[in-house]
Chains A and B, each alone.
Chain A
Amino acid sequence: AQKITQTQPGMFVQEKEAVTLDCTYDTSDQSYGLFWYKQPSSGEMIFLIYQGSYDEQNATEGRYSLNFQKARKSANLVISASQLGDSAMYFCAMRVSYGNNRLAFGKGNQVVVIP
């Protein structure tokens, strides 16, 4: 079974600083996708960034980048220049290529950006 692990406790980040959120995964699939979602207090799940298992370059989307280390099975999210609006829960998720193409989620990381 696929497993996503996010073990960091809640984090306080100074505004304008960078923050790295750790995510490790476990799968026997060769083809899979990794996602990061942001969930503010309103509850909506906001897509941030995607990395395919065959992508050779790390994904970037604006202030978000994904540090993909395939051999170590890690997919850490880096948020540069934190903003107050970045305060939220962040979830790492993995899509598997067979069956229903489900997303399996980690338990999330709470980030609070302080001015």
Chain B
Amino acid sequence: SQTIHQWPATLVQPVGSPLSLECTVEGTSNPNLYWYRQAAGRGLQLLFYSVGIGQISSEVPQNLSASRPQDRQFILSSKKLLLSDSGFYLCAWRRWKGSNYGYTFGSGTRLTVV
């Protein structure tokens, strides 16, 4: 079956510390992958997207980066976190066909920078 996994679920990190969030997809190949961030009480903002290995596009200038080292793996990173990086981070995968056409989201990571 096709599933998307995202971890960790919750993270509390001090300002200036590094960050690594991982997202993996199972049951498909060459997926389009996306990282979104949701600030408290707000909608989702697209941060990065990837159409293949090593192909990353950034939507918003910031101190975050993304990488796609394998076909079904998408990583969100930061070398030094800022307070403003706090939020709910969601990875998404675009399903191409089938009755469940659409975008499937991971369960999210709630990041608090202190």
Contact = CB atoms under 8 A, between A and B. Distances in A.
Contact of B44 (A42, A44, A91, A95): A91
A103 B44 CA distance: 9
Interface stretch (A11-19, A63-71, A77-85, A104-112): A104-112
Contacts, number: 53
A106 B34 CA distance: 17
A47 B46 CA distance: 17
Interface residues of A, number: 21
Interface in B55-114: 57, 59, 88, 90, 92, 94, 100-105, 107-108, 110
B102 A47 contact: yes
Nearest to B108: A43
- Give the size range of B's interface with the partner: 20 to 34
Nearest to A108: B43
Interface string A39-74: 000111101001000000000000000000000000
B43 A106 contact: yes
Contacts of A35: 102-103
Contacts of B101: 50
Interface of B: 32, 34, 42-46, 49, 51, 57, 59, 88, 90, 92, 94, 100-105, 107-108, 110
Interface of A: 4, 35, 37, 42-45, 47, 50, 91, 93, 95, 100-108
17 contacts: A42-B107, A43-B88, A43-B108, A43-B110, A44-B107, A47-B103, A50-B101, A91-B44, A102-B46, A102-B59, A103-B34, A103-B92, A103-B103, A105-B44, A106-B43, A107-B42, A108-B42
